[in-house]
Amino acid sequence: MIEEYHIKSRLQITASKLKIPNDKFNIIGIHAWPEIFKKIEAEFIIRKNSNTRFNWWWETLKNDNVSVQFANNNAREYLHTIVDKNEKVWFVACDADRDPSKFWLFEGFIEPIQQIIGELHAFEYYVVSKKYEWFLAENHHGYLIGLGTVKSKLLALRESLG
């Protein structure tokens, strides 16, 4: 069963089953991701010291963020209203239940990412602008949290949801 695999494999298997091509969603190689993670952290994460954990980014976000709570944990259904469907983004997955210290980096477009998230459960994820202009996090508490240029879209979404 797919639940037996770690999040990296679950995401790749799901993308394959959904027939999502690599140019729409693909993993980033081991040599490229450390520099990308450093840039994400420099822009959006508060580093209190060199021992700050490499996980739970949503707990250490810079102060200027907006959040929307989704009682049904269905934030993914709204991602395409926040992120331009033609923008290739970073997608960071964290297997919170199995190994929260392990992050996997992918790149892709928001609609295939939404499809994949919809097929899987029990993981937290981050969607980040490849230009490092904005950052989105969905955590296991049903919150979608945004920083940067997506804040106005998140505020509008929060208003529309009441």
Phi, psi for 61 (deg, rounded to 5):
-75, 155
How many CB atoms are closer than 10 A to CB 119?
14
How is residue 130 written in tokens?
């490849």
Q: Give the pLDDT confidence of 92-114 residue by residue, as tens digits.
A: 998 766 665 678 999 999 999 99
Phi, psi for 76 (deg, rounded to 5):
-55, -30
Q: Give the pLDDT confidence of 38-88 residue by residue, as tens digits.
A: 999 899 988 765 654 455 778 778 878 999 999 888 899 999 999 999 999
Give the whole-angstrom CA distance, residue 126 versus residue 132: 12
Look up tokens 């990412």; give the residue.
Answer: 113
